[in-house]
Amino acid sequence: MLIDFLFELRAKKVPVSTHEWMALMEGLALGLHESSLDGFYRLCRTICVKDIALYDAYDEAFLAYFKDVHVASLQLTQDLLDWLSDPKALEGLTAEQRAAMQGLDLEKLRALFEQRLKEQKERHDGGNRWIGTGGTSPFGTGGKNSNGMRVGGGGGRSAMAVADERRFKEYRRDVVLDVRQIDVALRGLRKLGREGAIEELDLDETIDKTCKNAGEIDIVFRPPRRNRVKVVLLMDVGGSMDPHSELVSKLFTAASRAGRFAKFRSYYFHNCVYNTIYEDAEFRKPVQVADLLANSDRDEKLVLVGDALMHPAELLDPGGSMYLYAQNRASGHEWLRRLAAHFRSSVWLNPEPDRFWTGTTIEVIASVFGMWPLTLDGLAHAVRYLVRGGERPKVGHPEKWAKGMGLG
């Protein structure tokens, strides 16, 4: 009978293996659940769920299987949730409206909610009865009802209860690339060499020396193998990069891990690189690009991350920076070319899906740096290119832009 619960869990994307399920059965046989539902809830969670991020999905599956209240009677279809996640704004509230929605306790509210949900057939915005957005009905999102129940959507503080609220929701993360995956991809970016303190016994060399020494023992130590790759990471932040900030911060987390690279430096820029970049994402600690070039070894690997989308003038015209206080004499394109010329190997990772690349400034930047999308696959290619060199992918028709680049 419980096997259905296993599939309920797996359907909710909790990766429970047979291995763990057998352990649970063993636990049940030993009576570890104390013959209670509470005990079972805890037992199953400790054995089957190994990540706090999945606790929420587990709660959901548990509710679904053991209570049938939530999912059976409150089938929130995807449509309903989609619409609720795009709320219409509502400002201000008259006194009578406020009075009208006083005093609904949680029990009543729930009963009413289920009833409405059964009756409602279509989208509502700005009303006072149905589940909708921007209204004064007790149900929905983005509305004003001091005692209401929030359904879907985000923000809004007045709702007394959030439908399906669960304790571990904040820990949830459904993401494409996780740090570990990036970590694994970055592992290819290395060049091992023996450097640093000598602390490892070199057995072969010791035997050789000892033999040459006619049996007198001569112990040879050597430094352990370490990654010698040095990396400079330049990240575009703010503006059109905001939707990608989580992905970029994951890349940063994986790359900045202690001991990964012999030397790792990271800087921020906005939109395009001009004469100044910044040590912090708030743009308070400026660094001149000229200084960066002077201080970096040509063997360091340069990795730029950005969507490379901007107005052509921002890239190609001298003085094109969108900030007046950061007026630049050389164009962004010129600065990018200086960077590319200094570093022997450099790549640009673009979080924008590559099907949108052609016909934009991406074409130009991809002609300066080898550009790959910021996906696992793209990252793997970029790493290979950084280590071994090779062909750069060609994007669109950069020659069309030649006039603007001052080459035509």
Partner 1 sequence: MSDVFDQFQGTASYIASEDLRHAVNVAVALARPLLVRGEPGTGKTLLAENLASSLGLPLIRWHVKSTTKARDGLYVYDTVARLHDSRFGDAANVRDIAKYIKLGPLGEALASPTRVVLLIDEIDKADLEFPNDLLHELDTMKFRVEETGKEIAATERPVVVITSNNEKELPDAFLRRCVFHYIQFPTRELMAEIVRVHHPDITDRVLDNALEVFFGLRATAKLRKKPSTSELIDWIMALKKAGVDLARVSGGIPFLGTLLKTEQDVELVGKRAKA
Among 46, 73, 288, 327, binds partner 1 (CB under 8 A): 46
What is d(CA 343, CA 353) in angstroms, rounded to the nearest whole number?
26
Q: In angstroms, give the least distance from the CB of 57 to partner 1.
A: 14
Among 7, 31, 67, 211, binds partner 1 (CB under 8 A): 31
If phi over 0 gives left and psi between -120 and 50 gives alpha, with beta otherwise, what is residue 162?
beta
Q: In angstroms, give the least distance from the CB of 323 to partner 1.
A: 26
Q: In angstroms, give the least distance from the CB of 52 to partner 1.
A: 5
Nearer to partner 1, 187 or 298 (CB): 187
Spatial CA neighbour of 234 closest among 270, 197, 184: 270
Subset of 150-189 contacting partner 1 (CB under 8 A) = 178-180, 183-184, 187
Among 55, 269, 274, 335, binds partner 1 (CB under 8 A): 55
Subset of 244-283 contacting partner 1 (CB under 8 A) = 258-259
Nearer to partner 1, 13 or 403 (CB): 13
Size of the site for partner 1 (CB under 8 A): 36
Subset of 9-28 contacting partner 1 (CB under 8 A) = 15, 17, 19-20, 23, 26-27
Contact 234, 247 (CB under 8 A): no
Please choose, out of 41-49, 79-87, 268-276, 359-367, the segment that lies near partner 1 by the rule CB under 8 A.
41-49
Contact 246, 175 (CB under 8 A): yes
Contact 263, 227 (CB under 8 A): no
CA angle 353/359/361 to nearest 5° reads 80
Contact status: 211 vs partner 1 (CB under 8 A): no
Contact 292, 276 (CB under 8 A): no
Among 34, 208, 291, 299, binds partner 1 (CB under 8 A): 34
What is d(CA 228, CA 297) in angstroms, rounded to the nearest whole number?
12
Residue type, 312: P
Nearer to partner 1, 52 or 341 (CB): 52
Nearer to partner 1, 53 or 90 (CB): 53
If phi over 0 gives left and psi between -120 and 50 gives alpha, with beta otherwise, what is residue 239?
left
Nearer to partner 1, 9 or 49 (CB): 49
Question: For residue 61, what are the contacts with CB-CB under 8 A and spacing of at least 6?
Answer: 5, 8, 9, 11, 12, 14
Contact status: 201 vs partner 1 (CB under 8 A): yes
Q: In angstroms, give the least distance from the CB of 394 to partner 1.
A: 35
Q: In angstroms, give the least distance from the CB of 251 to partner 1.
A: 15
| Dihedral angle, C-alpha 164, 54, 77, 117, nearest 10 ° | -10
Nearer to partner 1, 171 or 356 (CB): 171
What is d(CA 358, CA 351) in angstroms, rounded to the nearest whole number?
14
Render 51-110 in DSSP notation, one character per residue: -GGGHHHHHHHHHHHHT-IIIII----HHHHHHHTSPPP-----HHHHHHT----HHHHH
Contact status: 50 vs partner 1 (CB under 8 A): yes
Q: In angstroms, give the least distance from the CB of 264 to partner 1.
A: 15
> Per-residue string for binding with partner 1, 87-116, x by CB under 8 A?
------------------------------
Contact status: 32 vs partner 1 (CB under 8 A): yes
Alpha helices (H) along 232-375: 245-256, 289-295, 312-316, 332-342, 362-368
Spatial CA neighbour of 386 closest among 338, 337, 331, 347: 347
3-state DSSP assignment of residue 213 = coil
Instruction: Give contact residues for partner 1 (rule: CB under 8 A).
Output: 15, 17, 19-20, 23, 26-27, 30-32, 34, 39, 42-43, 45-47, 49-52, 55, 178-180, 183-184, 187, 201, 203, 206, 216-217, 219, 258-259
